[in-house]
Structure 1
Amino acid sequence: MSAVLEVQGLSKAFGAIQALDDVSFDLQKGELLALIGPNGAGKSTCFNMLMGQLKMSSGTVKLNGKSLAGLKPRQIWRKGVGRTFQITGTYASMTVIENVQMALISHHRKIYSFLVRAHLMYRDAAMELLALVGMQDQSERHCAVLAYGDLKRLELAIALAHDPMLLLMDEPTAGMAPKERIALMELTAQIVERRGVSVLFTEHDMDVVFAHAHRVMVLNRGQLIANGSVEDIREDARVREVYLGGGTLFNHDGESANA
């Protein structure tokens, strides 16, 4: 079975700084894949290239076998790639349901006017998405008064508005309380199972990663140093040294260096 996402030799340099160095991996349908690593490892750079916000220095990225090279973020979004961000970006002056309706209007490429008011469009579909993330009871609340954990759930509903096949989640539990982190990732795992969505997510909370990821990749200084099951990553001595343990990083020659 071909992978939903195929990445080969992905690299990005900023002058003399090699932010990502020859990274290759794939992501299968319905797989929850974690990308972890120390700060500055290249995780956000990788995400930004996958979504077209950064131009790759070299390498290929394919979605269902078709290249995404040179496409703009909105074009990649149209092809079925959604994204949530570490810092939420909802419209604070709008209600919860209006935020989801705006995403649905964009997805369906509809134009609204005074004759066809936006708040009347796709309400049923918006409520279905809010029910999926447990936010239907807060549909008429303004985003400005929501708790941060609720904003994260709303952002997930917005990301699902165009029924993506691939979802990129950049530190989805950042800034959340421990119980909220568990609840959000349990919800994400349920969506993966029900909808067959493939999810690539970055995360610093190892309890979240080990509890929910089907597979884990580890970046260090732009290089992919491990890719395997949760059990493999737990037992990998280099991973423990680089990320899970004493904070020692490795250079490209494999020699240790103090962080």
Structure 2
Amino acid sequence: MGNVLEVRSLSKSFGGIRAVRDVSFDLKRGEFLALIGPNGAGKTTCFNMLNGYLRPDTGSVKLLGRELVGIPPRKVWRMGVGRTFQITETFRSMTVLENVQMALISHNRRIFDLFSKATALYRDEALKLLELIGMAAQADRPCAELAYGDLKQLELAIALAHDPDLLLMDEPTAGMAPNERIALMQLTADIVARGHVSVIFTEHDMDVVFAHSHRILVLNRGELIAEGTGDEIRANALVQEVYLGGGSLFHEKETAHA
């Protein structure tokens, strides 16, 4: 199974603060990778370099062998890198279906098509994406009526509209109720398993991380201090020390059900 993403010696400083230091890792096709660490560890900075929002001081980011460093975010998006954000962004006055149609219209470069009615474009494709995330029954509902968990699911469909090879999810379950978190991450894991996309996500909820990720990267003060499976990360003494002050990453009761 080949690598979708290859990151080598990625570093970024802001003045005298080294936010990310010499980070290297690979992401395989069909892999669900968690990026964790304490607040200020450099997770978001790392994310922002992967999709072009920040240019690294040093290092390389290659998607399917193509260098991304120095390419503007919109072009990185065109090359196959999608992203969801902590705070959802949808057109509240539009329906669920129309939001996905707009993403498809943008992907297919039809934004400035003055001769076609937008609501008629890519309707079938949008409905298929809504079926994929389990929201086809809500296609005609205005986004303003949706619960927060549903908005997060819709955002996932929007991110998948341009058929990315890599999807970056920055704290996807932030602000969600426990049952909503489980549902969203299980949905994402199912999509990954079907081979639609490879995913890197940041997350503070360790239940989510250990339940769904194939592999975990741990950052601390900008440095990659550990990587491995959930069991390997749980057993890593350095991770225990820097991440939770020597406490357990997972309670025994929770571990039994992992």
Offset of 1:226 from its aligned partner?
0.3
Partner of 2:56, secondary structure, is coil
Alpha-carbon distance between aligned partners in 2 of 1:82 and 1:243, rounded to the nearest angstrom: 28
Matched residues in 2 for 1:92 and 1:246: separation?
Answer: 44
**Residue identity matched to 1:163:** D
CA distance in structure 2 between the partners assigned to 1:167 and 1:113 by the alignment: 28
Give the drift of 1:196: 4.2
RMSD: 1.3
Query: What residue is the counterpart of 1:228 in the other structure?
Result: 228
2:61 is matched with which residue?
A: 61
In the alignment, does 2:21 pair up with 1:21?
A: yes
Partner AA of 1:242 in structure 2: V
Residue 242 of structure 1 deviates from its aligned partner by 1.4
* 1:10 aligned partner, one-letter code: L
- Residue of structure 2 equivalent to 1:254: none
1:151-201 deviations in Å (ceiling 9; x for gaps): 000000000001111110001111100011011111001000112411000
| 2:84 alignment counterpart | 84
Q: Which residue of structure 2 aligns with residue 122 of structure 1?
A: 122
Structure 2, unaligned stretches of length 5 or more?
Answer: 248-258
Residue identity in the other structure for 1:238 = L
What is the TM-score with the length of structure 1 in the denominator? 0.92
* Alpha-carbon distance in structure 2 between the residues aligned to 1:10 and 1:194: 30
Greater alpha carbon shift after TM alignment, 230-239 vs 140-149: 140-149
Cα distance in 1 for partners of 2:111, 2:168 equals: 28
The aligned residue for residue 109 of structure 2 is: 109
Runs of at least 4 residues off by over 6 Å: none
The alpha-carbon distance between structure 1 residues 148 and 9, as it changes in their structure 2 partners (threshold 3 A), is same
Check if 1:153 corresponds to 2:153.
Answer: yes
Q: For 1:204, give the aligned amino acid.
A: H
How far, CA to CA, are the matches of 2:17 and 2:45 in structure 1?
A: 12
Aligned-partner SS, 2:59? strand
CA distance in 2, matches of 1:178, 1:29: 29
Identity rate, percent: 69
Number of the residue aligned with 1:257:
none
Q: 1:43 Cα deviation (Å)?
A: 0.4
Please give the secondary structure, in 2, of the residue aligned with 1:242: helix
Which blocks of at least 5 consecutive residues in structure 1 are unaligned? 248-259
What is the count of residue pairs matched by the alignment? 247
Q: Which residue does 1:256 correspond to in 2?
A: none
Q: Would the aligned equivalents of 1:29 and 1:196 in 2 still touch at CA under 8 Å?
A: no
How many Å apart are 1:111 and its aligned residue?
Answer: 4.0
Deviation at 1:2, TM superposition (A): 3.6
What is the identity, as a one-letter code, of the residue corresponding to 1:119? T
Q: 2:196 & 2:235 partners in 1: Cα distance?
A: 29
1:51–1:73 contact (8 Å) kept in structure 2: yes
